Homo-oligomer: A and B are copies of this chain.
Amino acid sequence: MAVSAADESLARWGAPSDAPELSSRVQDYLARHVGVAAPWPPADPASWQIAPSRIPLSVAGALRAAVGDDCVSDARSDRLAATGGAAFIDYARRRAGAMDDVPDLVVRPGTHDEVMRVLAIAGEHRVAVVPVGGGTSVVGGLRTDEPRIALALERLGRLLHLDEVSGIATVGPAVTGPVLEALLQARGYTLGHLPQSWERATIGGYVATRSAGQASTGYGRSDDMVESLLVATPEGTLELGRGPSTAAGPDLLGLMVGSEGAFGVITRVGLRVRRLPEHRVYDALVLPGFAAGVDAFRDAAQSRATADVMRLSDEAETATTLLMSGPSGIAGAALERYLRARGVDLASASLAIVGWEGTDRDLVRSRRAATWRALRRHGAVSLGHGPGESWRRHRFDGPHLRDALMDQGYLVETLETATHWSGYLALHGDVTAALRDSLGPRPGPFVMSHLSHAYETGASLYTTVIAVADRHEPVAQWQRAKSATSNALMAAGATITHHHAVGRDHAAWLPQEVGPLGMSILRATKGAVDPGGLLNPGVLGL
């Protein structure tokens, strides 16, 4: 059986050739800090067993009449292409050949009205419908074994209108970041939304999951960018967003944003875009430890002196970054001396990447000066532009590196949260401890974190963990760790997720996040727009 690129992308993020080679220095470091692992070859996609479609032929026929013969398919390759999930447990399952979450039928509507017709047919026959964009959910947003139609939105992937006066791009939900950026930049605009999933994720997915990106401190999160939405639901169409802001009652736009396909299918999004920045400066710097760095970032945020990109690695992530890309040998020793002369011990340093962008050169310059004034109050020492620019070039490498580490037999996963500044360092300690305790014994796991979105009142915390994979039960191994960490987040009063959505993996904690009455509001809303429970059942715990 022919293996398509779509098949391959289910077992890993990128092509095998895109995974970076791990140097012997890195391999030694892993062996010492995480443990020795054995190569983990994925099962051959050609061997995957996929069950036949469970959707009755009569339903498929009705769908064909609604959207056209070419746009309904139960072919293996189409069904695999509409299978989602980019979490460690998704890849671990694929490597073992587990393919029990493949949708039964793929339908590709080309208009809002066609989406409405698909929902009507699905409702009549009581078949579940799961909208699929880039398929990059890391929280099980698409992972279910229920019989279902995958609503592949790829035909709704155009830039429909650019209002250059208001700075609003109206787009179909399936446009990806790279495509939208190319279209916008050709006209002098940018969205500025750069999550790690940028290569594959879609705008509809960003909005449905409240995605944040690497420049969210400056450009805002995806939810900040939404000016308007058109949403198809089994009970009718919702059209929301009549201005830059409103006091017309409860925020229904904010109720649809983040609804993860459970309240409707987003068929059009109005997005705030910005003029393409002509001026851009990225600096790297170190601070004398993560605690000092957190204080420095807080000071900048509370002085209204944030940069557009603000990323601060803890000591462990700093050491790893220097190992992976930093100078070693004589150059490393020189760096150490340079920092020591400025009061920073490299061994306990915290690396920061800070970047400013804009159309007004003087404003970029003065914003940069203001950020630096705040950071210097806490001992920041510049490393120059070089490492900052290097980070910018490699900003989407993370998922490819994960492929390489999994190939070597390691469990690699990330999780993220946010809390207010006063509890930030304690939360960092709690998360680190929960992962260490649940993924021990020694020497692993290796746990490292960074702060990547600074708000006036708090910040996000993004943690990466590497452990030797339990090759018999890698999914259970991670689920235990995830559960322990999620409990720690709840105990600390932090949010279960800052920018990865709830999906199915976080659903057990959502009642703690919003309370039983919050859940009953979500159920009531679901009842109003999708009384038959067709839409992405299970997500958000609904």
By a beta-carbon cutoff of 8 Å, the part of chain A in contact with chain B is 163, 165-168, 209-212, 221, 223, 227, 233, 235-240, 242-252, 254-260, 263, 272, 274-275, 298, 302-305, 358-360, 362-363, 366-367, 369-370, 373-374, 417-422, 453, 455-460, 493-502, 506, 510, 513-518, 520-525, 527-529, 540
Contact = CB atoms under 8 A, between A and B. Distances in A.
B497 A246 contact: yes
Contacts of A495: 242-243, 245-248
A374 B243 CA distance: 23
Instruction: Give chain A's interface secondary structure class.
Output: mixed
Contact of A251 (B227, B255, B373, B493): B255
B238 A518 contact: yes
A256 B514 CA distance: 12
Contacts of A212: 245, 247
13 contacts: A165-B420, A243-B498, A246-B495, A247-B500, A248-B497, A248-B514, A249-B258, A249-B513, A255-B255, A255-B521, A304-B363, A366-B366, A366-B370
Contacts of A272: 456-457
A237 B247 CA distance: 24
B165 A493 contact: no
What number of copies of this chain does the assembly contain? 2
Contact of A362 (B370, B417, B460): B370
A161 to B, nearest CB: 11
Contact of A498 (B240, B247, B369, B459): B247
A501 B239 CA distance: 20
B240 A518 contact: yes
Nearest to A455: B244
Which of A362, A370, A417, A458 counts the most B-chain CB atoms under 10 A from its CB? A458
A165 B421 contact: yes
A498 B245 CA distance: 6
